[in-house]
Amino acid sequence: MVGVVGGVEGRPPDERELVLRARRGDMRAFEDLVSPHQELAFRVAYLITRNPADAEDTAQEALVKAWRGLGRFRAGAPLRPWLLRIVANEARNRSRASGRRAQLALRAAADFSGEAAPSPEEATLAGSERELLLAALEQLPDDARLVLECRYLLDLSERETAAALGLRRGTVKSRTARALDRLRETYATRV
Amino acid sequence: MQLESELHALASEIAWPPTPTLRPRLEPRRRELRRPVLAALALSLTAIAAALAVPPSRAAILRFFHLGAATVQIVEQLPPAQERPLAAGLGPTVPTAAAQATLQGMLLLPPLAPPPPLHLRDGIVSLLFRYHGAVVLLSEISDRNGVLVKKLAGSATHIVPVQVGHNAGLWLSGAPHLFILPSGPPRLAHAVLLWHDGHLTLRLEGKHLTETAANTLAQTLG
């Protein structure tokens, strides 16, 4: 599936060893540790900040914080949820500070870069149900939108979504169900 | 289920911005810096402990030691000072970017949503928030900014060395001590955890803060 980051929570067998080496100051081990997660980290940051430059800064900053905070990471625990939590916290701070998020929208095609997102009406004319679905998704409140984007666009598990959004797993489950209901209503009125 | 399938399918059609090559500027971990810090701290504390253990020297004692951007000085008698609210003199609130710029990107935040407001004055970034119902003040100072804060403690203030994660720190409790900022009047401070993390000096203060709570909170910062 192009564009979807793998959602398997399993860890490579040497992750624990890399954590221990990185804790001893081995920067190369840290790079090996986080490298598989860089794309996902960037996309989580992008979903929250909605600005590629901010997302890049966020991901860079989050990796620095992860490096500095590695001593607090519980060895043997999966790294990805922990890393995503740091990225998402950083992204929320940056998003709030910049105040630019509302001006940006998720694109359905790369060609739209730099322009306003297509309205639902334009999407209808284009005959694209996917664009309609995207437009409906984008109109959800932030809480509902983010939980669905994490679960379905990034293919995060409930646990990872909970870590990224700072929620309990049960909350992720219930919020996802409510968000789907709401999306279903909105989407149904468009197709 | 159909909507969920459509959402999954939608994922493949999102034009994500290209993922940049992330090359964070990593500094050596504190583990490498810890030994000299601990050694210096241990020497200072040993001197203090030795001096305090000898009653005749108690009246004349005048010792000090450094931890990052903070200096703690033991004095015979505290100068007069007032007890002031923790919120006093923190400076205006600033965006995260400004706080990060002041601290060279080393800002640490408590895991609260939304994050507490950031105040900035004299190179000190301060956050005031509630932790388990009690008001606490977190102050962060970069060692690289030339900012120094000072603490004057009398002999009734208990000062003990602590570990905050991998970092060396001090726990000040008992009788209030005097907290002196680069500008503004000094004030009395109660329980304080002071520690050094990389090039960052951090300080947690709360009237009802316990050592365990302070240390736990300190280790959740990120």
Total residue length of chain B = 222
B26–chain A nearest CA distance, Å: 6
> Does B35 reach chain A within 8 Å, measured CB to CB?
no
Q: Which helix (H) or strand (E) segment is A121 a member of?
A: helix A120-126
Answer whether A72 touches B (CB < 8 Å).
Answer: yes
Whether residue B44 has pLDDT greater than 60: no
Q: How many Å lie between the alpha carbon of A95 and the closest alpha carbon of chain B?
A: 10
**Residues B210, B191 contacting (CB under 8 angstroms):** yes
Phi and psi at residue A100, in whole multiples of 5°? -100, -5
Q: Which residue has the higher pLDDT, B168 or B103?
A: B103
Q: Are A38 and A85 in contact (CB under 8 A)?
A: no
Structural domain ending residue among the three candidates A49, A71, A104: A104
Give all strands of the β-sheet with B187-189 in edge-to-edge order.
B63-67, B70-74, B149-153, B177-180, B187-189
Contact A119, A190 (CB under 8 A): no
Contact present, A63 and B22 (Cβ < 8 Å)? yes
Tens-place pLDDT, residues A54-82: 888 889 889 888 888 888 887 778 899 99
Asked whether residue A6 is domain-assigned, the answer is no
B 98-137 residues with CB < 8 A to A: 100, 105-106, 108-109, 111, 113-115
Cβ of residue A79 closer than 8 Å to a chain B Cβ? no
Buried b vs exposed e over A77-108: b needs ≥16 C-beta within 10 Å?
Answer: ebbbbbbbbbbbbbbbbbbebbeebeeebbbb
CATH number of the domain within which A148 lies = 1.10.10.10
Sort out which chain B residues have CB atoms less than 8 A from A56's CB and list them: 20, 22
Same domain? A123 vs A63: no
Out of B19, B96, B108, name the one closest to residue A38 (CB). B19
Beta-bridged to residue B150, according to DSSP, are B71, B180
What pLDDT does residue A150 have? Answer: 94
Q: Do A80 and A130 share a domain, yes or no?
A: no
Q: What is the ipTM of this complex?
A: 0.75
Contacting residues of A for B111, CB less than 8 Å apart: 89, 166
Give the distance from residue A172's alpha carbon to the nearest chain B alpha carbon, in angstroms. Answer: 15
How do residues A114-143 score in pLDDT, each as one tens digit? 444 545 544 444 446 777 888 888 888 989
Residues A28 and A85 in one domain: yes
Closest CA to A81 of A174, A145, A182, A150: A150
pLDDT of residue B208: 86
The answer to whether B141 and B147 are in contact (CB under 8 A) is yes
**B135 pLDDT exceeds 70?**
yes
| Residues A125 and A72 placed together within one structural domain of the fold | no
A92 with A137, same domain? Answer: no
What confidence score (pLDDT) does residue A109 get? 45
Range of the domain at A36: 12-104
| A36-40, B16-20, B114-118: segment of lowest average pLDDT | B16-20
Q: CA–CA separation, B99 vs B101, rounded Å?
A: 5
> Which pLDDT belongs to residue A83?
93
What is the least distance, in Å, from the CA of A106 to any CA of chain B?
8
One domain, residues A150 and A120: yes
Is B8 in CB contact (< 8 Å) with chain A? yes
